[in-house]
Structure 1
Amino acid sequence: MASAFGHALLGATLGKLLLPARSHRPWWLLAAACAVLPDADVVGFTFGVAYASLWGHRGLSHSILAAVVLASTLVGLARLLRPRNQPPVGRLWALLFLATVSHGVLDAMTTGGLGVAFLSPWEPQRYFFGFRPIQVSPIGVKRFAGAAAWRVLRSEALWVGIPCLLLWLGQRFLRPAPANTPR
């Protein structure tokens, strides 16, 4: 898996890109959380859930279906609670879906594990992408330390951090001028 840092950074970047107004910053944080959440499945190891099972790591929680369910649930809650500065429903749903599904995308680009069950529960097959430059992160806080942590963080700085930074800068400096600006 990629680390929680890489997942959160990509989720927040998607938030900034899809909901650029500063008033939407809380939604960027929710997108970051959605991007990290699929790894909650590691709690299954404590209960003896096999890695390769439907409920195992990178299984159902990393699927496209899980992203649809999570985005739909959170948007439904947002509509009920009606928070201030709520973005358009469709745009919010797209953000939360993309942030959640981005988790599996990053994991499918790592150098280890069993792959990602994108099509679970209908298809148990797990997938990796042909391009796998991100160093796999050890599972567990205790194992994510020292040389292993630096190896993963350097890899993510290159393959997640730099692209996110370029997207942020591109949005900032390449956006069109407002229509009512005098020429």
Structure 2
Amino acid sequence: MASIFGHSLVAYTVAKVVDSKSSKLLVFLAIGSSVLPDLDVLGFLFGIDYLHPLGHRGFTHSILFALLWTGLLTFLFGKSRPFIFTVVLFLSTISHGVLDAMTSGGEGVGFLIPFDNARYFFPFREIKVSPIGVEKFLSEWGVRVILSEIQYIAIPCGIILLIHFFLNKS
């Protein structure tokens, strides 16, 4: 998986590019939605196997989950601007699986669960997989993850945000 920082930065970028004047609520929900799929690591505590549909990178990383989660949040919080909320929250939620499918480790992402339990990676897999747990993240491995995320997530997001800013400057 990419780290919480990489996922959050993509969600922030999505929120700002889709809606330059995104409310703090929408940005908060987008960032929360981008990291939510990794709650599936709690399954390890209950003996759920990694490759089980409810295991890590399973259902919570799927397109169906992103649609259901987006629908719920849009219904609860997006009544004034449902289209914007839907687009931002769906892209933020699904971006989690997209980034994970570009990492150097793991067993792939179950984008099509529950319809197909296959796990997928993208051909581009240069983002270093993030360790699970704070202690492991504060190690040489964690430093390599941050450096790869700067290169493959932060710099592209920064460029996109700068271009967006200058194109929309009035």
In the superposition, the TM-score normalised over structure 1's length comes to 0.89
Q: Quick one: which of 135, 139, 145 aligns to 2:132?
A: 139
How far apart, CA to CA, are the structure 2 residues paired with 1:54 and 1:145? 30
Indicate conservation of the 8 Å contact 1:13/1:28, yes or no. Answer: no
Please give the alpha-carbon distance, in whole angstroms, between the structure 2 residues aligned to 1:121 and 1:74: 21
Q: Deviations over 1:83-108 (max 9, x none)?
A: xxx5x211111100000000000000
Does the residue aligned with 1:142 lie in a helix, a strand or coil? helix
For the pair shown, the structure with the greater C-alpha radius of gyration is: 1
Instruction: Report the CA distance between 1:63 and its aligned residue.
Output: 0.1
Q: Which runs of 5+ in 1 are unaligned?
A: 178-183
Counterpart of 1:21 in structure 2 is 21
Q: Does 1:3 align with 2:3?
A: yes
The answer on 1:161 being equivalent to 2:154 is yes
SS at match of 2:137: coil
Task: Find the aligned partners of 2:169 and 2:116 in 1 and give their Cα distance.
Answer: 43
C-alpha RMSD over aligned residues: 1.3
Q: Matched residue pairs, number?
A: 170
CA-to-aligned-CA distance 1:26-82 (integer Å, 9 cap, x gap): 311210110000000000101111000010000000000000000000011115xx6
* Alpha-carbon shift at residue 176 of structure 1 (Å): 7.0
In 2, Cα distance between equivalents of 1:151 and 1:136:
9
In structure 2, how many angstroms separate the alpha carbons of the residues matched to 1:26 and 1:47?
33
- The CA distance in 2 between the partners of 1:63 and 1:161, in whole Å, is 24
Q: Which of the residues 99, 112, 115 maps onto 1:119?
A: 112
Q: Which ranges in structure 2 are unaligned for 5 or more consecutive residues?
A: none
Cα distance in 1 for residues equivalent to 2:24 and 2:16: 8
Q: What one-letter code is carried by the residue in structure 1 that aligns with 2:82?
A: V
- Moved beyond 2 Å, runs of 4+: none
